[in-house]
Structures are given as structure tokens and as C-alpha cells.
Structure 1
Amino acid sequence: MEPGAATELSAALAAGAARPAMWRVLVDGLQEFRHVPAVAAVLRDGPETAPHGGTDLARGLVAAAVADDRLAGLLRRWARAVNDGPAERVGNHVGGTTTVHGSVVQAGKILGDVHIHVPAGTAPGTAAGTVGGGTAPPGAAPLPVPRQLLPPPEHFTGRTDALDALDVLLPQLDARPLLVVVHGPPGVGKSALVTHWLHGLTDRFPDGQLYADLRGHLPDAGAGPAAPSEILGRFLRALGVTEVPVEPAESAALWRSHTAGLRLALMLDNALSAAQVRPLIPSAPGSLVAVTSRRRLTALGIDGAAFRRLDLLSPGDAVDLLARRIGADRVGREPEAADEIAALCAGLPLAVCVAAARLAARPRHSLAAMAGALGGTGAARLDALDLDGEHAVRVALDASYRQLSPELARGYRRLGLPPVTVLNGPVAAAACAVDPAEGDRLLDELAEVSLLEDLGTDGTTGLGRYRFHDLVRVHAGQLAADTEDPEERRDTVRRVVDHYLATATAAEALLTPSHRTLRRDYAHPPSHRPPFDTPAAALGWLDAERDHLMAALRTAAEEGWHATAWQLADAMWPLFLRLRPHELWVEAHRIGRAAARRAGDRRGLSRMLTSGGVGLRNAGLTDEAVEWFAEAVRGARTDGDRKAEAQALHGLGQSHLLAGRLDPATEHLTAALALREAIGHHRGAAMTRICLGDAALAAGRPRHALAPLARAREELLAVPDPYDAARALAFLGLALARAGTRHSSGRDGEELLWQALDEFTATGSVHWQGRVLEMLGEISAERGGTAEARDRYARSLALYGPVSERDAARLRARIAALDARG
């Protein structure tokens, strides 16, 4: 922080201490930094120390802020807020029938109108606070506004008419979502045009620009055309939704609800059909969906789509593009040869760029020689586009390929085989059986000659990212099919799949070491270290690579590598547990269960059934979850595995409980508890006691819930497991409130629930903050406190909204019932 900041902060601390609401804002913000001694002093001693020891306090905070930009920013903003106005500006209240979209006000009472202006850089749909005075979870920094477009094309040329035609459509944004389909032959520059256009419209879409490659023309089964639910999950997570429904119809409904009121631009690249696109269209006016496709996608006309065909570059524009890539002077020295190259490339930008890259890499070669390599004159000249333009590209790619070194040519061929759409050094190293440095070099050299597109550096791993144009990837794969031994092609794919298995397993070991217990089978054991060394980085890698992990899993199953398939599903457990992509969780374990059966692996099958059962249950598929857990119980009893049997019984009981079948739930949970106690699995026993307490509450027997919940709380505090201990405390508070009794400490149920809310706030669990507020609302409603219940339900709904549509729907129904009651 700046010189003199300690004095300014000292004055702000003294002023803020006299204003409870303002002081509370500071305390809430500092929770994330509570490990810092100076911050801990503020949180421990409260405002009483600030007027008297403010200078020392300020010096300590400033010293800590020097090393942490986020803490420095928090202190600056808070001190500015103290100086800008009276405390009344901090406390606000939203009452009546209120709908909050996008930014959320942390408030006490508001008189008059509220106007929220979202500046660039503010995350859409991300709650900075909650309605009714709640606080944002510490440690959960707002997501950045998603700006996912590909980098703008460096040598974009011409296309003035096409850009003008797209701009003419923009006024329609005020009335409805604008849907535009840009179609044309492969290699004609559809993606470059739309990317260039959208980069110029960033200010029109303050809530974000989202990008997805729909993979409409990839031949691979593992990474073939993208399902709409896959893209919806990715988009919703980019906007801050952490729990995406597994059913496509539900995820599409959540997408429409979440995007209402947002101004978004979507680029849907390489679409195959209207069915891929339709569920992805946002609901709000002001949003734009730009689709690229080789097909016209006429069926989108019923959705109001505007269609723009992108034709070939004019001869003059093709020559201009060549000049931009290799220099105008060089083109000026051989204008006839430049015209010849443009004609042989058939007006396709991709073909021109490939030819230009070869010329740029060989500054002494004549343009006439390149024209000869592309096919010469006369009968060889392309007067029409064979195979919808692919022939012109193939001619250019063949000419470029012939000039590669043998080593680079082999790398090019092999990189066209793995079922991944984005390449990095470790993936290239695995595919080509080289070390990571050599993998990076191969990618860089192929990008230099425009055979790969450089996507920049991945912010999570720091690795460079590259991708093939789909035509170039097909060309590379076809060369591999023509020249590589079938076994070597298979080994290339297997090495990449093994790379993903090994890296995901390393992430699993960091994030959930107790789960990392089953064997791994590698045909090609990787020798490279993973691109992360902390749990946060490991989770970031799993999140960034989730699509490629699923492609690897599908490929393993299709190739008959059954052990690898179920082991990949097992290694992805931290991703499923922490980030809850339900649709992937269920799909992975359905594939994994079938693969473990085919492999004849009993332990693998047991793990797939129990881990997959949890995913099914969380996705709302409780009946299927019951079937899976029941199968796991039978298998564990056959194998004599008591721990696995207890785990399966626990899951079976939870599934019945969620479905409202209380008698079988209690029966299975009681059996699980007895087994866990018998084998000394104390934490597992505590978890089962929480479920038994929940079952007793659901059955209307709160006094029967008290003993198991109190013991679960003690045992989980002793582990320590603060998250699950807070769950036990929340249920215990609800049980005490309903039983009309007090805790041994003398506190009543509501006091314990407020404590549980504080504990969930400290752990950053937004979902459980919402659940506790819902419990508090239930207590108020049961006591006849309608206004208080509505307020608590509203606060709960504000938390549930971005993370769980099912829970949000339940809260909306509770509020509606209160309103109907009057």
C-alpha cells in the first residue's frame, strides 16, 4: 500500500468502529484473511480496540497488505466507503416481492429506488452478498466476467461486406435474442470472421462472451460432436452456477432462468445441427448467439435465425492476405506468382495461410516455386471446389507437409490421432513418446507453419495451448492411417489416455487421499510429473481438462481398455465431489460400471457402484441410485468386505431417505452404523449418525434425533472434520428447536443454527448456508412467524439460486405457500 496508508487506515478504523454496520462489512471481508495475525487481532478483539489501538492495528494490517494485493484492495475500498458517507448507506433492506438478477445487494434497509450498473470486469450472476443482510462466503472471490472468445485473428483481411451484413442485424438485439448462422465451406474463414466481429462488440455484452466448439465435424467417437448438455454445463459454471442438473431438459431450463436479464454473446463454433444449438439460446433480449457451420442449419429459421453465407475470398483479398503474411514487398516482386498461389488456394483463407506460412519460413524461396508445388498452371488449376473446398486445403497441406523434417512430420501425424481438441506439451509428449520439452517444441514449430493454431497460455497450468483446424486434424489423421503401423496408431492414443489417467490420479492423491486406494493399470507408465503441485492447482487442472478426461474415458471403453475406463472414472472423483458436474458424474460411472464388469474387477465394480450411486442420488435419480447401492451391498457380502458393505448400506439408506422412504432408510442406516462401529470406522459411524438424525427429524421424532446428532458432532470435531461437524450442528439445532428443549450448553436450537451458519460461512459452503437459513425459516413458519419465515426463505433462495435449481424451486414453493397463507 501507499506511504501514509497506515495513518489513513487508522482514522478509518476509528470512524468505522463507531458505525456497527460499517464495521461488520470489514469483518465479513476479512474472514478470508483470518490466518494473518494482524487480521486475527481485528476479528478477535472487535471494534473496542480500534479507537484506542487503531494506529498499531493499522500498521499491522498495512504490513500484511503489502504482500497481498487482495487484502490491500479490500482495505482501500472499505476505508473509501467509511469516508464517502454516513453509516445509513451501508444498511439496506429489500422488502415486498423482490427479484434479484445479476449483481446482488448485501443490505439492511433501502429507501427509494436501487440502480445497479455492472462495469466491465464484474462477474455476471455472481452474488457479492445476499438479500436481507447475509454475507458472501469468505474465500469465494467473484468470478471474472467470462471472455472466452478465441484470440482475434492476427492477419484478418477483407470481408467488409460480410461484416457490414452482420452489423445490420444488431438493432434486433433490443427486441429479442439475436441468432446468426454463418455458414460456408470448410476453410473459408467462418470462425475468423465471427471471432473478429465479436471482439469488436465486447462493450455491448457486459455480462460476458462465451465460446464453445461444438465439434460438429470431428470423426472421433471419444471427442465427437458435443451434446448440448455438455456445453450448457460449461456455460452455467462459467456464470457461477456450481450445481448443474443431469437431465438435459432441466439444465436447459436452468440456463434460460439464469440468463434472463443478462446481456451475453455466445459463439458456437462448428455446429452440426440445429438440435445442438437450440437448447443453448439464452432467453433475454440483448443477447447474441453467433453460430458457425458448414451447413445452413435451416431448421433454426423457426427460432428466428438470420443466415449469412460466407463465400470465398476475392482474388484481390486472397493476395492481400498473402501479403500480410509474407510481406507486401515480396508479393510485389512476383505479382503473377502471387495471383497463381491465390488461385490455386481457391480463395480459401486456410489454404492461403498454410501456403504463406511455408513461404515465411523460407524467405529465399520464390513464390513461383510455391505455385509449382501447389499444382502449377493449366489443367492443375482449381476452377471449382472439389469436396466442398477440402481439395484445395489438402493440396496446400500436402505441400506444407512435404517440407517438414521427418521428426516433425511424424509428430504432425501422431497429434492428429488422440481424442482431444486442445493440445499442450505433456499431451504432445505422450502422443509422440518424447519428453515434455520436446513436446512443446513440436507444437511451437507446427504453429510456426500454421499447421496448428496457438491459443495462448492456460491460466490454470501455465501450459501453452494449441489446436488443429478440423480439416488439418483430419489431414494429419489420414496421413497417420496411410503411413503408420496400426499398432503404433493404437499405442499413440493409449499413451495419451494413460497420460490423463496418471495426471488425474495425481490430482486425486492430492485432493482426496483417503479415496486414492485402488490400483492403476498402465500400458505405457508416464514418467512426467503433473503440471500442478498444490490441491488448488490440481482441482483447477481437473476442471479445465474435464472434457478431455471424459473423451479419454469414452475412448478407453470403446477401445476395450476396460480397466483404464473405470480407473479414469475413479480418478475423477475429486472433480465430481467438489464441483458437482452431475451429468458427467453419472455418465462416467455408467461407463465405468460396465467397464469394471467386463474387466472382472470386483473392487473396481464396488467403487463404481458406490461412487456412481452418490452421483445418481445427487442428480435426483434416487431409484436408480437405490439399485446401484443394493447391487454394491450384494457384491460386498459375496466378497466378505465389511467396510464396502457398510459404505453401500449407508448409501442405500441415504437414497431411501432422500426419496422419503423412512422405514427402509432407517433400517439400512442402522445396519451401516453397526458395521462401522464393529470395524472401528469412527468417522463413517458419525456420518451415519447424521443421517439417522435426519431420518428421525423427517419422521417427526426430533427427540430421537438428539443423541445421534450430538455424538456425531463430538466425533467429527475430534477428527477434525469442520464441514461435517457443522452439518451435525445444523441438524442438532433443528432437532432442539422442534423438540422445544435446550442444548447441554444452555443454548436453544436457533442459537445452534446461527452458529452452524457461521461455521459454513467460514468453510465457504454456499449450499449449506442456504440450507441452514431454510431450517431457520422452517422454525419461524412452524411458530407462526410468517414475515420472519419469508425473510429467511428469501435469504436462503438468494444463496440457492446460483448453485441448485432444485433447491431454489423448493424455496420458491415455500415462499408462495406463505404468501397464499397471508
Structure 2
Amino acid sequence: MAGSSVQARDIHGGVHLHQPAPPGRPPVPRQLLPVPAHFTGRAGDLRALDALRAARRASAPQVAVVSGPAGVGKTALASRWLSALTPEFPDGQLYADLRGHTPGGPAGPTEALAGFLRALGAASIPGSLAEQAALWRSLTAGLRLVVMLDNALSAAQVRTLLPAAPGSLVVVTSRHRLTGLGVDGAGFHQVGMLDPAAALELFARGVGGDRVAADRPAAREVVDLCARLPLAVCLAAAQLAARPRRPVAALASALTRGRGPLETLGVEGDTAVRTALDESFAALPARAADAYRRMGLLPVTRYDGPMAGAVCGVPPEEAEDLLELLLEVNLLEEAAPGSAPGDRYRFHDLVRLHAGGRAEADLPEPERRATLRRFADWCLATATSAEALLTPSHRTLDRDYAHPPVPPVAFDAQGPALAWLDEHRFDLMAAVRLAAREGWDASAWQLVDAMWPLFLRLRPYDLWTEAHALGLAAARRAGHRAGEGRMLTSGGNGLCHTGRFDEAARWFEDALRHAGEDGDERQRAQALHGLGRAHFGAGRTQDAERHYAHALALREAIGYTRGAALSRVCLGEIALTHDRPGLAAERLATARAELVAEGDSYDAARALALLGHATARGGHARTGMRRLLRALVEFENAGSVHWQARTMEYLGQACQEHRALAEAARWFTRSLALYDPVSPTDATRLRARLRELPPRPRPGL
């Protein structure tokens, strides 16, 4: 990988910086759900949405609310309309399921915002909702985006997710009209049932025109019994398509059996859907029916083969076949565009409720609990496998399984392991909440412990703090001292990242007291190091230095070389804060050598960046900048955006101090470009640095 380089004669001559282009934007997001293959009959609705679009205000993002009863096809209609508008929005399409009517409750705004920010290139997500919303507005201010907010519960849930750009379009689907969004300039469209001809065409597309033509009166009866609700019509069509010898009239008879005349159907088609779902479920093979029931119990919204195999007790390959069968009969939907069949699936809200209801009716309570426990154990085993590869020094505590997944999950490289943690972060969090609620305390805190690489590398601060609060309570209920200590120190780090330094100090003090009682010197040193970090963040540098020094002494005494080096790095930072660059350089050089010897390339690069900064501040600009540029290359190779930006800022400071103002401006500008989508606080500091430079920087030294 091409990095940055420096050529210099001596410090009295000229410094010429050859910089690679700033990192490019990530791929343009294309997150809209696929349009169903049999979509039909919505020409009037599409014209109405086009009319809303034509009436938009040019000064604000357009918001269109598409409302209607469950199963009427709001999501399919919105996806179809937006897919035709793709050329008008070159900066991409974002999608979020707000889960307004799921048993687990609606999605919080931080969940959707974090996903959007990552899709737009943010490598680190701020901890608070206010900071996330500010970053969202900053990132979208100049973009032309489509944002689809599916299954919204309320106007308040939506409002935080509106982008800032006047050229963007937001489509909200909801069972409610959400008239409160009128103050945001929203337009509204209510979706009704299909007209009789369109409903019959939709049925014919799913079943086959010849079969419908052979018994058109029975086909009309089926679509009327389905209340012309698209979800019910598609379910009925899928039943017949899967059973080619079954007459259409037989399905019509089954839909009316024991259920009374058409007039008894619910106004919004609920009864029609329930009837169609009951018939679809009755036609499933036993193994597929069992998978349908068990998946309906899980506290997640997306499914894949390994997850389904674990909860059903079958190999992943067999689970993939079962998922494809459920997809074939319209009981599952594809969850993401471009994904291979079996990779990712989701239930429609009404189908998920039906599947959960079948589980409640058909499975004994112990079997339902066993299904949920298998899900928790699968999450724990897979996350632990990723943890062992990504952070082996952290993978030290035992794991307890009621149903160990067979075969065990394994990753062959760090990239796929981290990608799995990222993709399943909300599934893992759901498993933590489930385990805490069900009293599986060992599973709860161990799940949190296994998620450490996710917290450390991807920084989902809201999940970090919530998970550790649940994990700490679970470890204490379980009476597991090592687990409690791990939750206190790992959770204290999360609190530091969110700026809650005094609260973090209390967690680290608890950890220190427990480690002293248990005679655990390594954990005691960890707590002292954490206390140093909390005090440093709060601006109490003398207290921080005292705790770091104590941690260093303990770590050296027990032979924990890597930990000692990390404490030395922090002491080097404190020396820089006290304007003692010589002492800082001494500490950081030692730490760098130790971390390289330990094979910790990431922390070794951190030590090198700080060493370069200390060296430049100590008057040795050429050597300092050479070290900074080498650190920058290491961070580029590691993909660490935050530390790339910080190192560029140090380079800018070195140039500024030695009057190379044009180069300083370039480094500060590059640093700002990286900080902008990552950290509003750091970005504000870089803008201030740029404003402090003279308007016409003088090139050279």
C-alpha cells in the first residue's frame, strides 16, 4: 500500500511532503429492499406519489408518508417507486426497519442512525444521540439521498432520522398516518386494498395464468376471501404454486372452512391474513413447520442458515434448504438486495407474529425455552470464536453452554470475524437482553465479554455501555468474581469513551477493590490503569500519572510486558501534557520496542505516532516527522481512521511550529476530512487550527 513519505536535507532547508490522495468514499449504499417479482396493480398509487414528488419544497428534504393496514403492500410500493428514482439520487439509498409493531418494541433512533453513518463512511460512531444526529446532519448536508424508513411507529421516531440535504427524499411507511410529520413538510398517501382486477392478476402471476383461467370463478373467490390484501393473496398463490395438482376451488373451500362468510373478515384484512397463514402453515413439511415455529420465537428480525440450524438442531446446510422452502411459499422474504438465497431472510411483521403464535400453541414451554437457549449459545459460541482470533489476549475466561453448537463456528481470518460481529451486533445485543431476562446469568456476562472486539474496534458506544451494565448485574447475580471484574474494567473503558469519566472511575475503583480482595495482581493492575485513564479524561493529570505509574510497576513485577508497555504509552502522553517531550520520548521509545516484540502492531503504531509527536516537539523536527509518517503508513495498513487523522494533525502541528505553513494547512485539511465523519469534537478542533493559520501560508521552512 502506498503511504506517505518525507524528503529532507536538514532542518534549515526545505521539507517537501509527498502525500497520497485522501481515502475515497465507501461504495454508494444501495440498501432498498428488492421489489417483489409479482408486484402489480399500483399504477394509481405510483401516480399519486409522483404528484407528491412534483409538489416538493426546494428548500428542505422531501418527506412522503405511505400509510395503510398491515399486509397491504406499503413496503413493496415504496421500494418500487424509489427504485425508479435511482438516477435522481446519485449519493445512494439508505434503508432502516424501525420495527414499529414487533413484539420486542420499536427500534431506537441510535440503531438506525448508527447504520446510516457507517454506510456513509463513518468509521467510529459518537456515543450520544445528540452527537450522532449532529454528525448525520453534517454528513448529509450536501448529498442527494433516498432514505426509506420502514414500519415507523410515530412521528417522533422518524424526526431524528431526517437528513439535512434539501435534495434528499425520505419515504416513511407506517400503519399510522403520522400526521405529526406535517410540520416537517411531509406529504401523505394512504394505500388501500387492491382493486378486484389487480388482485386477480397478482394471484395469477403467483399461481400461473392457465390454472386461474381454468377456474376463474374460484380464483375470484380466493382473492375476495383474502380481502384483496396483497400479503394474503401472495400467501394463497404460493400454496397453490407449491401444490400443482391442487385445484383452485379446493383452496377456496379451505379458506372458508369453519370461518363463516366474507363479511366476518376483519376490516383491515387481519382475519384474511391469519386464514391464509394457517393454510400455508398446515401445508408445510414437518421440519419446515418446526423451523417456522422456532424462528418465530427469536428476538431478532433477520435470519440465516447457521442461526436457523443452531435453534432447530440441524446442520446449517439442511437449515438453508428449510429457509429456501419457507421463502418459496412466501413465509419468508429476502432481507437485502443482492444477497444470495439463504444468506439473509426476514419475516413480515404479521408472519412473525403468526410464527410465534404457532410456537406458543404447539411447543411445550420447556421446548420454547430450549430454543431460545440454543440461540443464546449459538451467539456466544460464534462471538467467542471471533474474539479468540481478534483479541486473543482478552480471551481468557471460561464459557458455559447448555447446547454447544455442532459443528463449532470457526473463522479463518480477522476480516470475516470482525464483519460477522458487525453484522450481528444487534442480534448479539438481543441475546444479551434475552439471557439477562431469562436468568441465564453466565450466558449474559459471557456474551458481553465475547463482544469485546466489536466494542474495541468498531466503538458502538451505546451498545458498549448498555451491554456492560447488563453483564455486570448478571456476573454479580452469578457470584462470578472474574466475570464481575472483567465487566467493571471493560465497561469502565466504554464509559470513558462516552465522556462519563467520574462514573468510569467508580467502576474501576470497584474493580480495584475486588482484585485486592481476590489477590489478583493482573486484574489489580488493569483497574489501576483504568483509573489512570478516567482521571486523565477528566483532566486530573496528577492522579492519572500516579495510577498509571502504579499499574506499570505491578505489570512489570508480574511479567506482563504488553500491559507494562501500554501503561508506559499513557505515561508518555501525560509527559507531553506537562510539556516534557524528552521524558515522553524516552517512555514512548521503550513502549514501542516492547509492543513490537509482543507482536501488538496496532498499539506499537500508537506508540510510534506519539513518539514522533514528542520528538518533533523536542526540537528534532526531521526525525519526528519521519516517525510520524511511518506511523501513518502503519495506520493506513491497519485501517485505523481515527489514528490516521490524529497522526496527520501531529504532522500539521510539526509543520506549523517550524513555519512550514502551507504544509501545515494541507495536513490539517486532510486530518479534518477524516475526522468529519468520525468525531464532531475533533473536527471542530481542526477547523479552529485551520482558522488560526495566516490566510496566505508561506511554503517551505
Query: Do they fold alike, i.e. is TM over 0.5?
Result: yes
Cα displacement (A) at 1:405? 3.1
Judge which range, 344-353 or 143-152, deviates more.
143-152
Distance 1:715 1:328, change over 3 A: same
The match for 1:448 among 324, 328, 333 is 328
Matched residue of 2:65: which SS?
strand
Given that 1:244 and 1:583 are in contact with CA atoms closer than 8 Å, whether structure 2 keeps it comes out as no
Deviates more, 1:726-735 or 1:562-571: 726-735
After the TM superposition, which residues 343-362 of structure 1 pair with which residues of structure 2 at under 5 Å, given as runs? 343-362=224-243
Query: 1:506-525 to 2 correspondence within 5 Å?
Result: 506-525=385-404
How far 1:267 sits from its partner (Å)? Answer: 1.2
Which residue does the alignment assign to 2:584?
705
Secondary structure, in 3 states, of the residue corresponding to 2:345?
A: strand
Aligned to 1:536: 415
**1:462, CA displacement in angstroms?**
8.7
Partner residue, 2:292: 412
Give the equivalent residue in structure 2 for 1:10: none
Report which stretch shifted further, 198-207 or 753-762.
753-762
Q: Which residue of 1 aligns with 2:99?
A: 215
- Equivalent residue, structure 2, for 1:810: 685
- 1:277 CA displacement: 0.9
Rounded to whole Å, the distance in 2 between the matches of 1:622 and 1:134 is 37
Gaps of 5+ in 1: 1-26, 32-42, 47-107, 109-131
Q: What residue number does 1:90 align with?
A: none
Flag the 1:814–1:627 CA change in 2: closer, same or farther, 3 A: farther
Q: Please say if residues 242 and 804 of structure 1, whose CA atoms lie closer than 8 Å, have aligned partners that are also in contact.
A: no
2:149–2:158 contact (8 Å) kept in structure 1 = yes
Aligned equivalents of 2:596, 2:500: Cα separation in 1:
32
What TM-score do you get using the length of structure 1 for normalisation?
0.80
Amino acid aligned to 1:608: M
Aligned partner of 1:395 in structure 2 is 275
Deviations 1:588-641 (A, max 9, x none): 112211211121111111111111222222233222222222221111111111
Equivalent position of 1:193 in the other structure = 77
Q: Check if 1:150 corresponds to 2:56.
A: no
Cα deviation digits, residues 463-508 of structure 1 (max 9, x gap) = 5222111101101111211221111111111111111111111111
Aligned pairs for 1:156-167 within 5 A: 156-167=39-50
Q: Relative contact order (C-alpha < 8 Å, sep 6+): which is higher?
A: 2
Q: Which residue of the partner structure matches residue 11 of structure 2?
A: none
Equivalent residue letter for 2:181: L
Equivalent residue number for residue 364 of structure 1: 245
Q: Number of aligned residue pairs: give it.
A: 687
- Label 1:458 to 1:503 Cα distance change in 2 as closer, same or farther (>3 A): farther
Aligned to 2:12: none
Name the residue aligned to 2:162: 281
Q: 1:734 to 1:166 in 2, by over 3 A?
A: same
Displacement after TM superposition at 1:414 (Å): 1.6
**Gaps in structure 2 of 5+ consecutive residues:** 8-15
Answer yes or no: is the 8 Å Cα contact 1:713–1:728 preserved in 2.
yes
Residue 297, structure 1, aligned to residue 178, structure 2: yes
| Structure 2 Cα separation of the partners of residues 458 and 491 of structure 1 | 34
Letter in 2 for 1:416: G
**1:344 and 1:382 in contact (8 A); partners too:** no
User: Identity of paired residues, percent?
Assistant: 57
Identify the match of residue 543 of structure 2 among 664, 688, 694.
Answer: 664
Q: Distance in 2 between matches of 1:538 and 1:141?
A: 24
Match of 2:65 among 181, 184, 208: 181
Post-superposition CA distance 1:132-171 (Å, at most 9, x none): 964258xx78532111111121100111110011112224
Residue 422 of structure 1 aligns to a residue in which SS?
coil
Cα deviation digits, residues 83-121 of structure 1 (max 9, x gap): xxxxxxxxxxxxxxxxxxxxxxxxx9xxxxxxxxxxxxx
Q: Which residue of 1 aligns with 2:2?
A: 28
Distance 2:249 2:45 in 1: 31
Query: Does the alignment pair 1:767 with 2:639?
Result: no
1:458·1:464 contact (CA, 8 Å) conserved in 2? no
In the other structure, the counterpart of 1:572 is 451
How many Å apart are 1:820 and its aligned residue? Answer: 10
Counterpart of 1:646 in structure 2 is 525
Partner of 2:13: none
Residues 1:238 and 2:119 aligned together:
yes
User: Are the structure 2 counterparts of residues 781 and 456 from structure 1 closer, same or farther at C-alpha, using a change threshold of 3 Å?
Assistant: closer
Instruction: Quote how far apart the aligned CAs of 1:714 are.
Output: 2.1
Deviations 1:39-95 (A, max 9, x none): xxxx9xx9xxxxxxxxxxxxxxxxxxxxxxxxxxxxxxxxxxxxxxxxxxxxxxxxx
Asked whether the 8 Å contact 2:34–2:337 carries over to 1, the reply is no
Deviations 1:509-561 (A, max 9, x none): 11111111111111111112327432211111111111111111111111111
Give 1:383 shift: 6.1
* Aligned residue in 2 for 1:776: 651
Out of 674, 678, 682, the position equivalent to 2:557 is 678
CA drift of 1:408 comes to: 2.8
Q: Which has the higher mean CA deviation after the structures are superposed, 677-686 or 774-783?
A: 774-783
Contact between 2:143 and 2:165, CA under 8 Å: does it hold in 1?
Answer: yes
Aligned-residue offset at 1:787 = 5.0
Q: CA deviation at 1:265?
A: 0.7
1:763 partner amino acid: A
The 3 A distance-change label for structure 1 pair 193 and 681 is: same
Shift of 1:398: 1.3
Contact conserved, 2:324 with 2:341, CA < 8 A, in 1?
Answer: no
Shift of 1:764: 3.4
Aligned partners of 1:767 and 1:799 also within 8 Å: yes
Instruction: Tell me by how many angstroms 1:780 deviates.
Output: 4.2
Distance 1:347 1:557 in 2: 43
Matches for 1:732-811 after TM superposition, within 5 Å: 732-740=611-619, 748-782=623-657, 788-811=663-686
Is 1:431 matched up with 2:311? yes
- Aligned match of 1:63: none
**Alpha-carbon contact 1:770-1:800 (below 8 Å) kept:** yes
